[in-house]
Amino acid sequence: MPDIFDVLTEDHEEVKDLLAKLEKRPRRGASGDQMAKRKKMVEQLIIEESKHEALEEMHFWPVVRDKLTDGDKLADKATEQEQEAKEVLAKLDKLDSGASQFEKLLAEFVESGREHIQFEETQVWPNLRKALTKKEATEIGKRFRDGKKKAPTRPHPSTPPRPEMLKATGPAAAAVDKARDAATGRGSGNGAGTTGQTKAELYKQARELGIEGRSSMNKEELGRRVAAAQRKRK
């Protein structure tokens, strides 16, 4: 059973893979299809980040505050970073990929997103691993993963990042988000196509297929395991 660090690692790997692809700016004169694909990838990034940040604020940072002596300081810094990210993502979500501010905001998030991941993985995880029992880490991981089904798919910077507030308003916000997504087709494809899949896409498929040990696999191994599992299902 994956623990909270396994679950967070999967999310981080998915986001890092998307950031690496989006960091490469489109060439001048890019086709409409290429720009539409870029917009779809950004939508996928926003969806995944929105879920991840909301769930961390509900299930992860409260544990950091409770278990670590400097937990309040660490959680305050992290939620401040996440709040700034929500502001950027909320603006980005409203823009077409050809808008003048689109690439500027995206570049801003790429940098801040990597900084936040590094802060979390290097400044928070090491001591929290020591502070949690295996059972505790696994239970938190399950709550986090189960929560994805009801998590918002859009950033909500006006909602205070307090667990009690998010738990009260999150399900309703998520329902509205998903209704809007369904009506507009937002998130219906991540722009990567069916070939040349990213590591993040392979991670997602491996998770859906129940492939164990996926957090420690590289892209090539993920590809092989996903393909093998799909063949068995046919």
Task: Report helix angle 4-22 to 199-208, nearest 10.
Answer: 150
C-alpha to C-alpha distance for 129 and 139, rounded to whole angstroms: 14
C-alpha to C-alpha distance for 113 and 230, rounded to whole angstroms: 33
pLDDT digits (tens, 9 = 90+) for 195-230: 346 677 788 888 888 888 887 777 767 877 887 777
Q: The CATH number of 4-191 is which of 1.10.287, 1.10.10, 1.20.120, 2.60.120?
A: 1.20.120
Domain map of the chain by residue range? Answer: 4-191, 193-234
Nearest to 108 by CA among 33, 9, 157, 42: 42
* pTM, entire model: 0.77
Neighbours of 37 (CB within 10 A): 19
What residues contact residue 158 under an 8 Å CB cut-off, 6+ apart?
none
Residue 167 — very low, low, confident or very high, per pLDDT cuts 50/70/90? Answer: low
Nearest to 124 by CA among 49, 72, 160, 50: 72
pLDDT digits (tens, 9 = 90+) for 62-85: 999 999 999 999 999 999 999 999
